[in-house]
């Protein structure tokens, strides 16, 4: 923009300023910003991800920050303590970027990439590209691991995860029912003569919103992985309480 053009635009802005102020004084609301920010904090009796405990069946404190744009673009970060046993990293830090939209009424999609980081771990980070399709109460999704530091191991490039979820929030007492089924397909799932590490996971939750106090939930999860595989699965059912507050 040239200096004259800039000056003219500036003068025009000054001339229009009283009109804008007058409009606001008369009760005309200012245009809504396309940007929004939110935060969340939570506590769970057990941090379970894809049917596997991430805290050795112990509690976790969790929280995140999110940005979203009216166009459907969003980004955020989320963190939690973890415990995988001996020489385990102490916390997980996720970074994600995505885009949501609607193909038609009540049929929505979500495309995203997420990086799972374990800053004090060794060769533990990995990243996935994922997509979800939601119709009313049903969601189908898949995720592909396109980067992994655990070379030739699990959660390395080439892994797939498939999932189906159901969420219904019109139950008596304002309860929210969630059901989940997932399948992990590892590229390097078979190690030496050990059984394949691929497995199904399934779970359910029953939650209720408590207004400004957040949301509480009772959760169940389990997997059918072979205990003799490289993962050393624990097939016992897991039950835990959760609390989540969004700002």
| 23 & 73 share domain | no
Q: Write down the pLDDT at residue 195.
A: 81
Pair 219, 237: CB distance under 8 Å: no
Count of domains in the chain? 2
Please provide the average confidence, as pLDDT, over all residues in the chain: 88
- C-alpha to C-alpha distance for 12 and 19, rounded to whole angstroms: 12
| 122 & 241 share domain | yes
Would you say residue 115 has pLDDT above 50? yes
- C-alpha to C-alpha distance for 211 and 206, rounded to whole angstroms: 16
| 5 & 66 share domain | no
Task: Please list, in sequence order, all residues whose beta carbon lies within 8 angstroms of the beta carbon of residue 113, skipping any fewer than 6 positions away.
Answer: 96, 97, 98, 127, 128, 129, 130
- C-alpha to C-alpha distance for 240 and 74, rounded to whole angstroms: 30
Backbone angles phi, psi at 22, to 5 degrees: -60, -40
Percent of the chain predicted with pLDDT > 90: 74
pLDDT in tens, 78-98: 999 999 988 889 999 999 999
Higher pLDDT, 228 or 3: 228
Average of pLDDT values for 164-172?
96
Q: Can you give the residue range of the structural domain that contains 115?
A: 37-246
How many residues are present in the chain? Answer: 247
- The per-residue DSSP string of 90-138 comes to SEEEEEEEEEEEEEETTEEEEEEEEEEE-TTSSS--EEEEEEEEEETTE
Confidence of residue 22 (pLDDT cuts 50, 70, 90): very low
Look up residue 187 and give its two tokens: 């590229």
Minimum mean pLDDT range among 17-21, 88-92, 143-147: 17-21
Average of pLDDT values for 29-42?
91
| 134 & 215 share domain | yes
């Amino acid at each position: 923009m040239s200096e004259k053009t800039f000056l003219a635009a500036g003068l025009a802005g000054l001339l229009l300023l009283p009109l804008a102020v007058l409009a606001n004084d008369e009760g005309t609301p200012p245009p809504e910003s396309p940007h929004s920010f939110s935060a969340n904090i939570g506590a769970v009796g057990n941090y379970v991800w894809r049917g596997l405990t991430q805290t050795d069946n112990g509690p976790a404190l969790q929280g995140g920050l999110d940005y979203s744009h009216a166009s459907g673009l969003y980004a955020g970060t989320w963190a939690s303590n973890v415990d995988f046993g001996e020489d385990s990293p102490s916390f997980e830090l996720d970074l994600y970027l995505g885009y949501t939209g609607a193909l038609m009424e009540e049929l929505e999609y979500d495309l995203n990439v997420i990086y799972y980081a374990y800053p004090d771990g060794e060769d533990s980070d990995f990243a996935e590209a994922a997509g979800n399709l939601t119709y009313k109460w049903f969601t189908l999704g898949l995720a592909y691991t396109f980067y992994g530091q655990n070379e030739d191991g699990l959660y390395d490039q080439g892994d797939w995860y498939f999932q189906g979820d159901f969420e219904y929030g019109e139950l008596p007492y304002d309860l929210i029912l969630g059901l989940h089924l997932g399948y992990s397909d590892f590229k390097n799932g078979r190690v030496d003569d050990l059984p394949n590490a691929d497995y199904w996971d399934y779970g359910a939750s029953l939650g209720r919103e408590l207004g400004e106090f957040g949301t509480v939930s009772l959760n169940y999860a389990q997997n059918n992985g072979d205990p003799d595989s490289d993962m050393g699965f624990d097939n016992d059912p897991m039950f835990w309480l959760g609390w989540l507050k969004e700002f």
